[in-house]
Chains A and B, each alone.
Chain A
Amino acid sequence: MSVFRLLIQGIKTTNSKGRIVLYLWITNFVFSLVIVAPFYFLLSKEFSRSLIGNKLGAGFDLLWLGDLFYKFNNIPPALIGWFLVPGILFLLLYMFLNGGIIGRIVAQRESVNFSNFFGDCGKYFLCFFRIFLISLIGYALVFGVIYRYISELFELWTDNASTEWPLIISSNIKFLILILLFSIIRMFFDYARVSVVVEDSRRAIRATILSLSFVGKRFFKAWFLYLLVGIISLIFFAVCLRISRILPSSGLLIIVVFLWHQIYILSRMWTKMLFFSSEYHFFYQEKISLY
């Protein structure tokens, strides 16, 4: 089956499981609300009775922004903690939700409901957590070793540059390499998760080895499929930026901006599902052909 057909199958599956996107959005929204709540109360305390409060967020005005930084200039250290802890919790939460997402994709003929979705979440959580720990080795290898060596290679070129061009080119090539390496690592471990669910296994190391073997044999096709989905998410991002540029940010139209932002977040959830569903179809199709 061609990569494009796999992609279309993935899209169909994703669309048929739209309720998952809703679950993911609610999770993200509620979690974000918890994080943003202190900001809301802080801003209310400081600005709700000031005329400057009317201007907050309405375009860029260094007068209120300057006041904001001045008032809260001691907050950044606390902010790091405030973002880090929920960030880690959210990461764990998503390890949990991944079970539900892939579980419901694999259960092609079943509809999605609250109990079977969260049932799958619980079923695979521990295994996915172990896969995550293994994936850290992969990320460390990529970011800590391979990327460092690649950077040093580029530095040999840029250290003696006579113009800025080598720096521009190397900087962007390095970034591209970083993205591609990241996509490869992520893809490997996505297939490990998919294989765990397809085979209803709980063995993380075996799944990882299986994924390496599976992807290793079909690397370019798998990667091409992965990158195609990646391109779709980039298109969504570009559209979001483009539309955001023209949306007004004053008066009641702020609701429109808010809704547009949420549509974009939904599109990110949808793309996340599409990664898994297209990978599932690829994995499943290749497995079938083996038998």
Chain B
Amino acid sequence: MKPIKISMLSLFLVVGLVLHTVESLEAQLKISVIRYEIWVELDDQRKMLYGRENISWLNTTQDEVQDMWFHLFYNAFKNERSTLLQESREELLGALGIKIEDGEWGWIDVTSIKLADGRDLRPTAEFVTRDKPVHPDDQTVMCVEFPEPVKPGEEVHLLLEFKSKIPKGILRTGYYQDSYFIAQWFPKPGVYEEGKGWNCHEYHLNSEFYADFADFTVHITVPENFVVGASGKQVGELRDSDTNAVTYTFYQDNIHDFAWTADSDFIKVERDFIAEDEISRKEYEEAARKLQLPVENIKLKDMKMILLIEPEHRSQIERHFKALKMAVKYYGLWYGPYPYETITMVDPPFRTKSGGMEYPTFFTAGTAILRSKEVLSPEGVIIHEFGHGYWYGLCANNEFEEAWLDEGINSYSTGKVAGKAYGKGALPFTFRRMPLAWFLKLPKYYDDEFDRAVAIHVVELDPITTHSWKFYNRGSYALNVYMRASTCLHTLERLVGEDTMLRILRTFQMYFRYKHPRTEDFIQVVNEVSGQDLTWFFEELFFKTLNFDYGICSLTSSEKDKHVRGFFDINGEKEEFTQEKVEKIKAEEKKSGKREIYVTEVTVRRFGEAKLGGDVLMKLRVVFEDGSEEIVNWDGQKRWEKFTFKKPAKAKFAQIDPDKIWLIDSNLSNNSLKRKSSKGGIFRLTSGILFLIQNFLQCISSFS
């Protein structure tokens, strides 16, 4: 377990974080530690990239920095000894998911690395493998030594040359035929952390992002028939008639990664997001009221939306833009305005395996030719990937070490935005690539319901805050980091209230924009904005593997034993009360209209290991047959507690957590207990299963 302590200093820091000032802090906090200028040429025939890269790195720490570490992620696809492929092999999923055939490998060679004054650093270059377990032959992290340390406040300039073999579509990068999606492709320094050194992990199966904010100028040269899209804004286009090539120049400041795509088939469509047209005055006012901010502070800016879409998906252009507008609108209104001028949405080229991935100001969606309107795809993925721009993009967490800060928060916020914009979506089942929603009335659901249904299965496998490559397996990573974290955040929302949760996320977003927040930072924001110390919530649900399950284990209602049998001393005499006498007394009381009193006993239990903390209490509601109800609170610390009620009616049912705050509760069916059983629902479900079995048997009989 990671200890979480809130220091007084940090508390003061957050106390000073009044929401009004948070909004105005944004401009001051923009600091790019790095400047890149990259020239890259695509060799379509050989599937190669040839690049030059100028890097200026500013030492913003108080350390004297002796070396520099780079990510060389294309080497993850170089051979079967890379960390990524070794991890993949250890996974059951590896055999199914990641397989590189002969001739499909990818790699990157840094052919030259020099300081601006010409001193060659190449001889000092070596590959580094520090993550445990060690994969000594991995070549995805390279380190070079400086001849003399870079002093605090000093800037170092490096000139690199590299060439890369593009892998055939794998893990969101690569080529298929003459379509390219190019991500994690250039030598990229890690993050220098004061007192700790370079944070520069290998390319792991579950994670790939952590870099400093930078200003990028990238010149991409491709054959002239290619349509290109990339992070940032296109600022130049130069045609070379001798080589039939075009060089596109893109620029963007304050981002920490750069990806691009090129495909001759892309249709490029541009639309403007005009905030005034998309958001009404009433919507601004409602959001401002919830956020407790002036309307002026939450106004969104206009921006350019670019879509690169494959021709066979042309009919879905409007679906793509509508979803993107919804995402820009609600993420902007709720969590803060989108700060960049452009967003480029890519319908990933066929078989480049690049769908559903986020990069700064640039993301891939993913659709199919045959789609039902009832299924929120591609809408869900568009909202999700755009949303990453907020959590991974702007509050740039260390994805290797705390992936939930992006994936978990973004799964939560995707569910909120998609639910608001579209309501429930149908299950995305297909048959022979045809949506079953065309033929069947498929069930519909909200994301949070789905997240909870799967999250409860992995609670005891790993803490949510586990390092990405240290999870039990890929399933545990995905379900914990996405779904369980999201479910915990939905629980938190129900605990603190929807408006407070909104303010928590906006504060976190605006305060940590262009920074690298940690889990502890998020907890501080939660505590400060909610006005409660909810550290225990995170300790129980994020840092441990404790199952949360409160329930009711017994409910009885019986007549109060006013009249009992046996000998009693009455006026100095022993008097015997027989069964007959007791019955007689009762009959007389009934005749005189005296109401029977019933004793109801409810035993509540904490079935799971996780328990409540702080001032939070578990509510118990008991409903009686005369329509009355009693509500009591339990601190939930002990394993069980018995509550007794004396009422003129028997209990009908008892219910723990009647407001359904604890979505993370792994067993909601034991949250209530009726005194008498009823079988209506069970008959309904069983008859449905019966029908399925009848059909199954008839199908089997076809072979007779």
Q: Using Cβ atoms and an 8 Å threshold, which residues of chain A touch B666?
A: 70
Q: Is the CB of A163 within 8 A of B679?
A: no
Q: Using Cβ atoms and an 8 Å threshold, which residues of chain A touch B702?
A: 186
Q: Is the CB of A135 within 8 A of B453?
A: no
Question: Least Cβ distance of B596 to chain A in Å?
Answer: 23
Q: Of B1-9, B214-222, B226-234, B681-689, which stretch is located at the interface?
A: B681-689
Render B621-646 as a binary contact track against A, CB cut-off 8 A, 1 for contact. Answer: 00000000000000000000000000
Interface positions, chain A 1-47, Cβ under 8 Å from B, are 28-29, 31-33, 35-36, 39-40, 43-44, 46-47
Q: How far is B691's CA from A28's CA once the two chains are assembled, in angstroms? A: 10
> Given A31-B697, A162-B177, A265-B694: A53 and B453 within 8 A (CB)?
no
Q: Using Cβ atoms and an 8 Å threshold, which residues of chain B touch A49?
A: 673-677
Q: Residue A57 at the B interface, CB < 8 A?
A: yes
Q: Return the contact of B686 from the options A43, A54, A59, A86 (Cβ within 8 A).
A: A43
Q: Using Cβ atoms and an 8 Å threshold, which residues of chain A touch B454?
A: 66
Q: Residue A284 at the B interface, CB < 8 A?
A: no
Q: Residue A257 at the B interface, CB < 8 A?
A: yes
Q: How far is B415's CA from A62's CA once the two chains are assembled, in angstroms? A: 15
Q: Is the CB of A175 within 8 A of B686?
A: no
Q: How far is B697's CA from A92's CA once the two chains are assembled, in angstroms? A: 11
Q: Residue B577 at the A interface, CB < 8 A?
A: no
Q: How far is B150's CA from A64's CA once the two chains are assembled, in angstroms? A: 60
Q: Residue B450 at the A interface, CB < 8 A?
A: yes
Q: Is the CB of A40 within 8 A of B686?
A: yes
> Given A53-B682, A57-B684: A35 and B693 within 8 A (CB)?
yes
Q: Is the CB of B445 within 8 A of A62?
A: yes
> Given A32-B694, A49-B673: A54 and B681 within 8 A (CB)?
yes
Q: Residue B241 at the A interface, CB < 8 A?
A: no
A258: nearest residue on chain B (CB-CB)? B687
Q: Is the CB of A48 within 8 A of B698?
A: no
Render A163-174 as a binary contact track against B, CB cut-off 8 A, 1 for contact. Answer: 111011001100
Q: Residue A152 at the B interface, CB < 8 A?
A: no
Question: Least Cβ distance of B651 to chain A in Å?
Answer: 12
Render A249-281 as a binary contact track against B, CB cut-off 8 A, 1 for contact. Answer: 100001001100100010011001000000000
> Given A58-B684, A87-B697, A164-B369: A95 and B674 within 8 A (CB)?
no
Q: Using Cβ atoms and an 8 Å threshold, which residues of chain A touch B679?
A: 44, 48, 53
Q: Is the CB of A165 within 8 A of B369?
A: yes
Q: Of B393-401, B435-443, B503-511, which stretch is located at the interface?
A: B435-443
Render B434-469 as a binary contact track against A, CB cut-off 8 A, 1 for contact. Answer: 100001110111000110111011000000000000
Interface positions, chain A 110-150, Cβ under 8 Å from B, are 128, 132, 135, 139
Question: Least Cβ distance of B377 to chain A in Å?
Answer: 14
Q: Residue B655 at the A interface, CB < 8 A?
A: yes
Q: Return the contact of A164 from the options B312, B457, B670 (Cβ within 8 A).
A: B312
Q: Residue B672 at the A interface, CB < 8 A?
A: yes
> Given A40-B686, A54-B681: A62 and B453 within 8 A (CB)?
yes
Q: Residue B238 at the A interface, CB < 8 A?
A: no
Interface positions, chain B 401-457, Cβ under 8 Å from A, are 432-434, 439-441, 443-445, 449-450, 452-454, 456-457
Q: How far is B700's CA from A31's CA once the two chains are assembled, in angstroms? A: 13
Q: Using Cβ atoms and an 8 Å threshold, which residues of chain B touch A86?
A: 697
Question: Least Cβ distance of A238 to chain B in Å?
Answer: 8
Q: Return the contact of B701 from the options A48, A91, A168 (Cβ within 8 A).
A: A91
> Given A36-B689, A98-B704, A258-B687: A245 and B441 within 8 A (CB)?
yes
Q: How far is B450's CA from A175's CA once the two chains are assembled, in angstroms? A: 31
Q: Using Cβ atoms and an 8 Å threshold, which residues of chain A touch B655?
A: 51
Q: How far is B676's CA from A213's CA once the two chains are assembled, in angstroms? A: 66
Q: Is the CB of B370 within 8 A of A168?
A: yes
Question: Least Cβ distance of A137 to chain B in Å?
Answer: 13
Render B223-254 as a binary contact track against A, CB cut-off 8 A, 1 for contact. Answer: 00000000000000000000000000000000
Q: Is the CB of B672 within 8 A of A50?
A: yes
Q: Is the CB of A268 within 8 A of B698?
A: yes
A251: nearest residue on chain B (CB-CB)? B680
Q: Using Cβ atoms and an 8 Å threshold, which residues of chain B touch A269?
A: 698
Q: Residue B678 at the A interface, CB < 8 A?
A: yes
Q: Return the contact of B369 from the options A36, A168, A261 (Cβ within 8 A).
A: A168
Q: Is the CB of B669 within 8 A of A139?
A: no
Q: Residue B50 at the A interface, CB < 8 A?
A: no
Q: Residue A83 at the B interface, CB < 8 A?
A: yes
Q: Residue B19 at the A interface, CB < 8 A?
A: no
Q: How far is B441's CA from A95's CA once the two chains are assembled, in angstroms? A: 35
Q: Is the CB of B689 within 8 A of A39?
A: yes
Q: Using Cβ atoms and an 8 Å threshold, which residues of chain B touch A128?
A: 704
Q: Residue A198 at the B interface, CB < 8 A?
A: no
Question: Size of chain B's interface in residues, with CB distance under 8 A?
Answer: 64
Q: Is the CB of B694 within 8 A of A63?
A: no
Q: Is the CB of B681 within 8 A of A47?
A: yes
Q: How far is B683's CA from A47's CA once the two chains are assembled, in angstroms? A: 11
Q: Is the CB of B440 within 8 A of A164?
A: no
B698: nearest residue on chain A (CB-CB)? A268
Q: Is the CB of B697 within 8 A of A32?
A: yes
Q: Residue A60 at the B interface, CB < 8 A?
A: yes
Q: Residue B267 at the A interface, CB < 8 A?
A: no
Among B440, B669, B694, which residue has the most Cβ atoms of chain A within 10 A?
A: B669
Q: Residue B12 at the A interface, CB < 8 A?
A: no
Q: Residue B690 at the A interface, CB < 8 A?
A: yes
Q: Residue B156 at the A interface, CB < 8 A?
A: no
Question: Least Cβ distance of B585 to chain A in Å?
Answer: 34
Q: Is the CB of A60 within 8 A of B432?
A: no
Q: Residue B653 at the A interface, CB < 8 A?
A: yes
Q: Is the CB of B669 within 8 A of A46?
A: yes
Q: Residue A67 at the B interface, CB < 8 A?
A: yes
Q: Using Cβ atoms and an 8 Å threshold, which residues of chain A touch B441?
A: 244-245
Q: How far is B449's CA from A60's CA once the two chains are assembled, in angstroms? A: 11
> Given A44-B679, A58-B684, A71-B667: A167 and B443 within 8 A (CB)?
no
Interface positions, chain A 64-95, Cβ under 8 Å from B, are 64-67, 69-71, 73, 83, 86-87, 90-92, 94-95
Q: Residue A232 at the B interface, CB < 8 A?
A: no
Q: Using Cβ atoms and an 8 Å threshold, which residues of chain B touch A65?
A: 453
Q: How far is B440's CA from A254's CA once the two chains are assembled, in angstroms? A: 19
Q: Return the contact of A54 from the options B310, B678, B701 (Cβ within 8 A).
A: B678
Q: Is the CB of B685 within 8 A of A56?
A: yes
Q: Return the contact of B350 from the options A46, A59, A161, A268 (Cβ within 8 A).
A: A161
Q: Return the contact of B433 from the options A40, A83, A164 (Cβ within 8 A).
A: A164
Q: Return the contact of B669 from the options A28, A52, A73, A171 (Cβ within 8 A).
A: A52
> Given A32-B694, A90-B700: A67 and B681 within 8 A (CB)?
no
Among B369, B675, B695, which residue has the most Cβ atoms of chain A within 10 A?
A: B695
Q: Using Cβ atoms and an 8 Å threshold, which residues of chain A touch B452?
A: 62-63, 66
Q: Residue A241 at the B interface, CB < 8 A?
A: yes
Q: Is the CB of B689 within 8 A of A171?
A: no
Q: Using Cβ atoms and an 8 Å threshold, which residues of chain B touch A206?
A: none
Q: How far is B696's CA from A140's CA once the two chains are assembled, in angstroms? A: 21
Question: Least Cβ distance of A98 to chain B in Å?
Answer: 6
Q: Is the CB of B368 within 8 A of A164?
A: yes
Can you list 28 A-B contacts (CB < 8 A)? A39-B686, A43-B682, A47-B682, A48-B678, A49-B674, A49-B676, A50-B672, A53-B681, A62-B445, A62-B450, A62-B452, A64-B668, A67-B668, A70-B456, A70-B666, A71-B669, A73-B457, A91-B700, A94-B700, A160-B177, A162-B350, A163-B311, A164-B350, A165-B369, A167-B433, A172-B434, A261-B690, A265-B695
7 additional contacts (CB under 8 A) given A62-B453, A261-B691: A32-B690, A50-B674, A51-B653, A132-B703, A163-B311, A164-B368, A254-B683
The interface of chain A, by Cβ under 8 A from chain B, is: 28-29, 31-33, 35-36, 39-40, 43-44, 46-67, 69-71, 73, 83, 86-87, 90-92, 94-95, 98, 128, 132, 135, 139, 160-165, 167-168, 171-172, 175, 186, 241, 244-245, 249, 254, 257-258, 261, 265, 268-269, 272
